[in-house]
């Protein structure tokens, strides 16, 4: 007789891989053969997970159409079964899957759009926190400003794509369809995603500003982040914008000296 572990392993294999037969003796007798019941259960599971992906990546679905998205979701679910009973945690690997999904290689920006949708969902789901006041740094002596280290709002996400993913995402909001003038040619796009209060926002940053913010996000001080960022940009305006956006929640002064 199979152990519980053997039964569970066989059930999982039959459910996801469609392989192996499940012994009828392992189930309470009923009016439906085990194979038929399992097929119904499998279809329900796949349908539910496909709906989760549809809700998480609506723009990707709009870009490829319902039928193609359903096929894509089925392939993803087969290779990425859930590892948690919480459905809200499912689908985080979908952007990487889209990058390598051969049937979608003619639409190379799908993975980038999916990353933006995932970042916006994560920002929406992140814990609330009180943003740092825009004038919070006004009393810091100028000679110590470079020693400031920020704590970011839990909702902040940073992403970079070689395609204009924010333009593509924005063109498909409110049921909209691109009017034919949308330029989707490859070009670097750096996005800051955040939700200081109720609405998720996306800001496209210059490469220099994105590098600066990324370094701050990684824990560097203002002085170090500024020193490591080259190019023509306005660091003072960038810092002002970040404070106004509400992407910081705290700051402290380190003992680190400016480079």
In the chain, domain spans: 1-107, 130-259
pLDDT of residue 6: 62
pLDDT tens for 99-113 read 999 999 999 999 999
Which residue, chain included where needed, has tokens 């809200």?
A: 88
pLDDT, residue 144, reads 93
Examine the pLDDT at 125 and tell me if it is beyond 80.
yes
Give the rounded distance of the alpha carbon of 149 from its chain centre.
Answer: 26
pLDDT value for 132: 95
Give me the sign of the Cα torsion angle 175, 179, 180, 185: negative
pLDDT confidence of 21, banded at 50, 70, 90? low
End-to-end CA distance of the chain: 70
pTM given for the model? 0.87
Q: Return left, alpha or beta for 180; rule: phi > 0 is left, psi -120 to 50 is alpha, else beta.
A: left
> d(Cα 158, Cα 142) in Å, to the nearest integer?
28
On the 0-12 / 13-18 / 19+ scale of CB atoms within 10 A, 73 is buried
Query: In this predicted model, what pLDDT tens digit does every residue of 138-159 receive, in sequence order?
Result: 999 999 999 999 999 999 999 9
pLDDT in tens, 64-105: 999 999 999 999 999 999 988 899 999 999 999 999 999 999
pLDDT of residue 15: 67
């Amino acid at each position: 007789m199979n152990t519980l572990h053997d039964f569970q392993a066989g059930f999982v294999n039959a459910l996801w891989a469609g392989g192996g037969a499940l012994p009828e003796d392992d189930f309470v007798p009923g009016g439906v053969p085990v194979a038929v019941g399992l097929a119904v259960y499998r279809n329900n599971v796949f349908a539910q997970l496909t709906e989760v992906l549809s809700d998480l990546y609506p723009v990707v679905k709009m870009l490829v159409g319902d039928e193609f998205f359903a096929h894509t979701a089925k392939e993803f679910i087969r290779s990425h079964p859930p590892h948690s009973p919480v459905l809200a945690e499912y689908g985080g690997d979908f952007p990487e899957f889209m990058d390598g999904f051969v049937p979608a290689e003619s639409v190379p920006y799908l993975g980038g759009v999916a990353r933006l949708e995932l970042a916006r969902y994560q920002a929406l789901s992140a814990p609330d926190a009180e943003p740092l006041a825009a004038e919070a740094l006004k009393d810091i002596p100028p000679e110590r400003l470079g020693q400031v280290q920020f704590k970011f709002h839990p909702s902040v996400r940073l992403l970079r794509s070689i395609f204009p993913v924010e333009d593509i995402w924005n063109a498909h909001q409110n049921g909209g369809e691109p009017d034919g003038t949308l330029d989707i040619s490859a070009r670097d796009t750096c996005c800051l995603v955040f939700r200081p209060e109720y609405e998720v926002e996306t800001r496209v940053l210059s490469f220099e500003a994105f590098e600066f913010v990324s370094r701050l996000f990684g824990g560097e001080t203002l002085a170090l982040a500024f020193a490591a960022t080259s190019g023509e940009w306005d660091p003072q305006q960038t810092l002002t914008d970040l404070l106004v956006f509400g992407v910081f929640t705290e700051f402290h002064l380190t003992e680190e000296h400016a480079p």
